Amino acid sequence: MKIIIPMAGEGSRLRPHTLNTLKPLISIAGRSILKRLLENLSQSIFSISIKEIIFIIGNVGKKIENQLINIANDIGLDGIIYYQDKPLGTADALLKAKDSLKGPTIVAFSDTLFYNHDHFEKINFDNNIIWTKKVKNPSLFGIVKCDPSTGLITHFIEKPKKNIVSDLAIIGIYYFKNSSILKKELQYILDHDIKNEEEYQLTSALENMRKKGERFIIQKVQEWMDFGNKKRTISSNSKILSIESNKFELIHKKSTLKNSLIIKPCFIGEKAIIENSIIGPYVSIGKYTKIKNSKIEKSLIQDYTEVRQANLFNSMIGNHTIYIGKAKEVNLGDYSQFFY
């Protein structure tokens, strides 16, 4: 068994935060999105003996490549890297790993998280599996229609614009009994130039597989968080804080709080300093960050950053950044400076 993680997208909807940092490596409440995904999977799926993690990336440089390999090694798995030079869609990305597409395989896209602990132990891995969640706006996602009595998928549809027949969105996690079959369909999609919205989509390959007799079942998740843009990232940060505040102490014992009020749930990282401030609810503050004379709520602030005289809400501030200002909804990337 192996797990393939496509992560070659440019993260354009989350700029400026993705100009210096891959989106899956952005920290949410102290841990990167990628590390959280692997931890969530490891609590369940890794019990079925996964041997390696395969990353599909763009031209990100050796430093980040080594970082990804180290993340795999840290959880006792081998790391393998393939490259997608141009973002031509999910089907094209997966086909870059065609040498590894054989046997049982999990595909997990790196900008999505789920919470469904102790759920995978009950799964029958005799079928292909698509993880899903009910959504209010199906036209924004790849969706599935299924037989409610059997759970078998009867249609795959990529971002339906009309005649929406289902509200079950594909969350970006898949299990294939035999990924060699997937590889053949991916190759067919590219060879015949079958595109949806100018990209080669995995959903098209899945529908072809279904029509040829492959059985897919759905597996629903309880909580789904994605990080497609600033709004969703801040919302997902709030959800994670709500869930984890009931399980863990989120204020690091080596942080410093001086004359400040923390309205939980909040994450305060190692060696962070909070002075004369009101923080929360739903705020994550990274390690070695300094907050002084400020009020901050529902925001995400990364590492080694300084915020003073600020009144922030619905904001994202990157690493190594300085912000001094008034009431504002802020979106600042790494290594920025803003003085009001």
Q: Which two tokens stand for residue 122?
A: 């009950």
Residues 180 and 203 in one domain: yes
pLDDT tens figures, 86-116: 888 889 999 999 999 999 999 998 878 877 6
d(CA 198, CA 24): 24
What single-letter amino acid sits at 140? L
Q: Which of 180, 198, 228 lies at the terminal end of a domain, its last residue? A: 228
d(CA 217, CA 297): 41
Residues 293 and 159 in one domain: no
Higher pLDDT, 225 or 299: 299
Residues 213 and 168 in one domain: yes
Residue 168 has pLDDT above 70, yes or no: yes
Asked if residue 234 belongs to a domain, the reply is: no
Burial of 62 (0-12, 13-18, 19+ CB in 10 A): exposed
Residues 220 and 247 in one domain: no
Number of domains in the chain: 2
Measured between alpha carbons, how far is residue 83 from residues 198, 214, 278 in Å?
20, 28, 45
Q: Which residues contact 191 (CB under 8 A, 6 or more apart)?
A: none
Burial of 16 (0-12, 13-18, 19+ CB in 10 A): middle
Higher pLDDT, 278 or 58: 278
Sheet with 337-339: strands ordered across: 256-258, 273-275, 290-292, 306-308, 322-324, 337-339
pLDDT tens figures, 150-165: 888 999 988 877 778 8
330: number of CA atoms within 13 Å, CB side? 29
* Residue 67 pLDDT grade (very low, low, confident, very high; cuts 50, 70, 90): confident
Quote the mean pLDDT of the chain: 86
Pairing of β 112-115 and β 223-226:
antiparallel
Q: Which of 183, 206, 228 lies at the terminal end of a domain, its last residue? A: 228
Please, are residues 67 and 25 in contact by the beta-carbon 8 Å criterion? yes
Asked if residue 323 belongs to a domain, the reply is: yes
pLDDT at 43: 63
Q: 288 is in which domain, residue-wise? A: 241-339
We report the CATH number of the domain holding residue 328 as: 2.160.10.10
Q: Mean pLDDT throughout 235-262?
A: 92
Residues 164 and 261 in one domain: no
Lowest mean pLDDT among 1-5, 97-101, 158-162, 242-246: 158-162
